[in-house]
Amino acid sequence: MLWHVRSMGPSILQRMHNGGQKVVRKLISEVNHSWPYASDIPLPPMDNLLINKAGSIGRKTYSSGQVRALGLGSQICLDNRRFSSTAEPASLATPALAALRERLASEGPNLTDFLGQTGSDGYSVSVGSKKDPKPKPEWIKKVIPGGEKYNAIKAQLRQLNLHTVCEEAKCPNIGECWSGGETGTATATIMILGDTCTRGCRFCAVKTSRAPPPPDPDEPLNVSEAIAAWGLDYVVLTSVDRDDLLDQGSNHFAETIKRLKLKKPQMLVEALVPDFRGDQQCVERVATSGLDVFAHNIETVEDLQTFVRDHRANFKQSIDVLKMAKLIAPPGTLTKTSIMLGCGETSLQVIKTMEKVREAGVDVMTFGQYMRPSKRHMPVSEYVTPGAFEEYRKLGLEMGFRYVASGPLVRSSYKAGEYYIKSMIEADRENAKNLAKQIR
Amino acid sequence: MQHIWGKGVLLHSSNLQTLFRIKRQMRKKRWITVTFVDKDGDEKIIKVPIGMSMLEAAHKNDVELEGACEGSLACSTCHVIVMDDDYYEKLPEPIDEENDMLDLAFGLTETSRLGCQVIAKPELDGIRLALPAATRNFAVDGHVPKPH
């Protein structure tokens, strides 16, 4: 039988964000005009699918494995030919349709193209180009966000006039984190100092302007209220770059952290900060505000810094910020950094960069796959395999990092809490063991 | 011959003809033709409305031109090369901020400009813009980094 999947256009995705299953079904019935059934008919299970290579009515055809991996279950609708035993009605078999089917049969991707992508033995998988498009590898696909918790968080954020990097930078994990994922505790990474950055890095989807609007003076209060309401043990706070402000936003940032800690002293706070153009005063303000983890991302290997990041950012400046923070922050504060793979770097460059980062005393490092937010941004060089990410993780631990999070969909604040707590506990147990040995 | 007053002008046949001629001329000038030439030499001819930047027009027509900072003069990813000197002369002088960003662009030439700062006007009809020979990200141009 034939599965029709509506190709995802931006307007459809927008609507997805605001709805859930109901909207999806409504959309499917609207869009697929050959679907004669009511929109609340239960969709059949995915498992008993057969693949029909014949073309579709202007929509893509996917195999059952693809359907499962893509998480497109709720968007699949059946071709009504499945239910009719007679020949298809004449109204459906237009000449245009027949021509399209022919073209797809001769030119379109077939099953082996999709199967080829599942091979994850090598270091990476190639991206393909406009003239030779290739499907994305399986491991990089996520479910479209939606659901009760997701909508609740969204409503609350809008009400308090807060922004999240999850939305602004188009994070693929938004559906998982906002709906609670495995742990059931929904989390979001709030972005302060507005939703517009003064820098234009090639990988980032956040809006850019030379003169963004001034920061909201109520923001520190609103942030602490929202986060307190979520009942989290661990929260990550981040911001845009504000090169236009005198203090580069460091006072506002420090104020927000202080308020958070006042409201919930037991909660662990990780701050993903800008480089403040290397200004020691700014770094000090934030590092001494009471946070538990000081994070600043170097984004890519040393050799590609000028190519990937804004011209105001560079490797030495970022490493110096991390070193400064380690010295200035109260003992027990961890430092953390993150890089994206797939920007065009070699693994040798990655390893050299890891060594330099370790020398700077950074405790935690995360590795993620760069994904292109839009056509206006840097193209992806390659999709690094999960196996290669795992190798980097092992290497990082060997080098002496206290924790390494590494995977295609890992982001700086993705699942940061459990790991921090876990590694702290492990370290504490280590210390206790050593103390016990000494006593003996 | 009827005398009709319309918009303060006496509408008789010769006036009407003049009005239509002006309208036709104005209609011609609402779009200009721009050719984008990519690094392989493939050309794409697009119609750009007057007042739109080349970057915006490229995005609307699926031309591969990055614009990381959305036209706020914070990057050099929309770098284009004006292929004909006489068209380059017709463009207004770049402001200091544009020059600063252009200095960082890869493959800079004498007739380079930032695509977000080139605004379509009738004098630029027929302009040819070349996309830079290489992006700053070498791996995209076919070089595959070898794992060590």
Output the tens digit of pLDDT for each of chain A's 440 residues: 444 444 444 455 555 555 555 555 555 555 444 334 444 444 444 433 333 333 333 344 445 455 444 444 434 433 433 433 444 444 456 888 888 778 777 766 655 555 544 455 688 998 887 778 888 898 888 878 888 888 988 998 999 889 999 999 999 999 888 887 666 677 789 999 999 999 999 999 999 999 999 999 999 999 999 988 888 878 899 999 999 999 999 999 999 999 999 999 888 889 999 999 999 999 999 999 999 899 999 999 999 999 999 999 999 999 999 999 999 998 888 899 999 999 999 999 999 999 999 999 999 999 999 999 998 899 999 999 999 999 999 999 999 998 898 999 999 888 665 666 656 766 766 777 788 888 87
Asked if B64's CB is within 8 angstroms of A375's CB, the reply is yes
Nearest by CB to residue A378, choosing from B59, B137, B144, is B137
Q: What is the 8-class DSSP label of residue B119?
A: B
Q: Indicate which of A243, A311, A372, A380 best probes the interface with B, i.e. most B CBs within 10 Å of its own CB.
A: A311
Total Cβ atoms within 10 A of residue A416: 26
Task: Give the closest-approach CA distance of B66 to chain A in angstroms.
Answer: 4
Provide, as residue numbers in chain B, all residues whose Cβ is less than 8 Å from the Cβ of A204.
68
Which chain B residue has its CA at the smallest distance from A127's CA?
B140
Taking an 8 Å cut-off on Cβ atoms, the answer to whether B68 and A378 are in contact is: yes
Closest in B67, B104, B140 to A344, CB measured? B140
Of B66, B74, B137, the CB nearest to A310: B74
B145·A345 Cβ contact <8 A = yes
The shortest CB-CB distance from A210 to any of B59, B67, B72 is to B72
Contacts with B69 from chain A: Cβ below 8 Å:
199-200, 208
DSSP label at B115?
Answer: G
Which of residues 345 through 364 in chain A touch B, CB cutoff 8 A?
A: 345-348, 351
Cβ partners under 8 Å of residue B74, min gap 6: A198, A199, A200, A208, A210, A310, B68, B101
- Closest chain B C-alpha to A45 CA, distance in angstroms: 38
What are the contacts of B110-114 at 24+ separation with CB within 8 A?
B111/B81, B111/B82, B111/B83, B111/B85, B112/B79, B112/B80, B112/B81, B112/B82, B113/B79, B113/B80, B113/B81, B113/B82, B113/B88, B114/B55, B114/B73, B114/B76, B114/B78, B114/B79, B114/B80
Q: Are B137 and A210 in contact (CB < 8 Å)?
A: no
Instruction: Kindly tell me the burial class for residue A221, based on how many C-beta atoms sit within 10 Å of its own C-beta (0-12, 13-18, 19 or more).
Output: middle
Between CA A295 and CA A299, with CA A296 as vertex, the angle to 5 degrees is 130
SS3 for chain A is CCEEECCCCHHHHHHHHHCCHHHHHHHHHHHCCCCCCCCCCCCCCCCCCCCCCCCCCCCECCCHHHHHHHCCHHHEEECHHHHCCCCCCCCCCCHHHHHHHHHHHHHCCCHHHHHHCCCCCCCEEECECCCCECCCCHHHCCCCCCCHHHHHHHHHHHHCCCEEHHHHCCCCCHHHHHCCCCCCCCCCCEEECCCEECCCCCCCCCEECCCCCCCCCCHHHHHHHHHHHHCCCEEEEEECCCCCCCCCCHHHHHHHHHHHHHHCCCCEEEEECCCHHHCHHHHHHHHCCCCCEEECCCECCHHHHHHHCCCCCCHHHHHHHHHHHHHHCCCCCEEEEEEEECCCCCHHHHHHHHHHHHHCCCCEEEEEECCCCCCCCCCCCEEECHHHHHHHHHHHHHHCCCEEEECCCCCCCCCHHHHHHHHHHHHHHHHHHHHHHHHC
pTM over 0.90: no
Which candidate, A331, A318, A295, places its Cα nearest to that of A405? A295
Q: What is the least distance, in Å, from the CA of A345 to any CA of chain B?
A: 7
Q: What is the ipTM of this complex?
A: 0.74
Q: Mind listing the pLDDT tens digit for each residue in B29-47?
A: 789 999 999 988 899 999 9
- The answer to whether the CB atoms of B70 and A347 lie below 8 A apart is no
How many alpha carbons lie under 13 Å from residue A8 in its C-beta half-sphere?
12
Which of B59, B74, B139 lies closest to A376 in CB terms? B59
Contact between chains at B72 and A311 (C-beta distance less than 8 A): no
Which chain B residue has its CA at the smallest distance from A196's CA? Answer: B69
Inter-chain touch B68–A208, beta carbons under 8 Å = yes
Residue A426: how many CB atoms within 10 A of its CB?
12
- With CB atoms and an 8 Å threshold, state whether A208 touches B144: no
